[in-house]
Structure 1
Amino acid sequence: MTFTTLDNVDDAELRVAVRAGAAFGDHANLLPIMPIEFEEAQRELPIVFRRSEDGDIRAYVLLGLDRGENLFLDGDRWTTRFVPAFQRRGPFALARGADGDAVVQVNRDDPRVGVADGLPLFRDHGGDAPYLEHVRAALTLLAEGAQSERAIHADWAAAGLLRGVTLRIDLGDAGGYEVSDVLTIDQAALAALSGATLERLHANGLLRAATMAAASLGNIERLVELKTIKEGA
């Protein structure tokens, strides 16, 4: 990968295609998301958590039941209104320029970069085009989320809200699946919160975020529906 900083003069005519697929990391049954994305994500996708080898906890959306399976992809497009910022960023990254300010870089080896049918990055008379504005927003969300997600997830764990589970999913005649090594928000523990812990989580917005993550598990029914359709086909 060759990441270089975008330049509104040298790259004035550069176009980038908006495409999804295995080559771009979309064919995964788990993709990371930030807590700030929970409100949008929970409307369509189940939110689960995993603990890394170093003990950090990260949030993910569950997209499929087999490794490398995203049931919310149709060809090179997502079928959901919500797409994780991790994927919305496309072939771009955020870096620090010589003056310390954040700059957008592009992976010029990515096959989506430089194609004639792509979207422009800059307006004809200067300034970011809508697609680059969209990319900047996704990159900023990821950068800001990375600074806060560890503390948020640690706070939930300390409050006893994260519970290790094995999700058992029944597909009837098509068999069943187990999704292991995940954590979910414990709804009983959430309902039992009281006193200073409840007040703190409510005051900093983490109570609402935990509630949304817990409610998102109802979307597993949609996963079952899509998987059943796929297996039937």
Structure 2
Amino acid sequence: MRNRMMRAARLVLCAAAAHAPVSASAAGWDVSKASSNFELVTLGDAELSGRSIGVIHMGNVELTSGRIVAADPLAQPDRPALARTVAPGDYPVTLYQAFGRIAAAGMRFAEGKPDHWELAVLPGQDLATLKDDDADINYYDDVLAADLDANKGHYALHRPMAGKRGNVAVFWSGWGDGFYPVFWGLDKDGRPLALLTDFGVIENADGRREPKVQ
């Protein structure tokens, strides 16, 4: 979804406190059609490069509580954490670039190829009732901008409280402001292996041809 370009970076993965089996679908959500880019998390850097997809290994997000928020904190400062949690720990974040944009973002919790994917939801959300269009000081200028400047304004690992564990991965979201689906990649036992946010910049995990605007 290409809405108005956003001025501030999108904070997508937060430490302490943002959408499978592909065969599973809800009344309004067919997860197999929600994203064609799940393969991104299974490909190595060389394979991705061959598909004209750049890779940025941002470093680790320190999940002190095991809860994850996927949101723009400047627009949604009270956004709740995702319903599913993981074990507290340090987990690597990878950004996938194409056409000069951040096409997708992933976080890895364990090695392996996901057996199936699940739409990430907030507490109280019911997959059966979700529709396709559901997915709410100036901190940016005064704080985040300095961190982002080190990487041409595209991304940063930001630590809200200096000297304390718990940081956030901040990065631009695709073509700008909008609603983007987040997915859990699960093993056959339902254990989280990866989290993927798809910004709708590419299709079929391939950056050689830009998708048509819907």
**By percentage of residues, which structure has more helix?**
1
TM-score range, shorter chain: under 0.3
Q: TM-score, normalised by structure 1?
A: 0.25
Q: TM-score, normalised by structure 2?
A: 0.26
Rg (Cα) greater in structure: 1
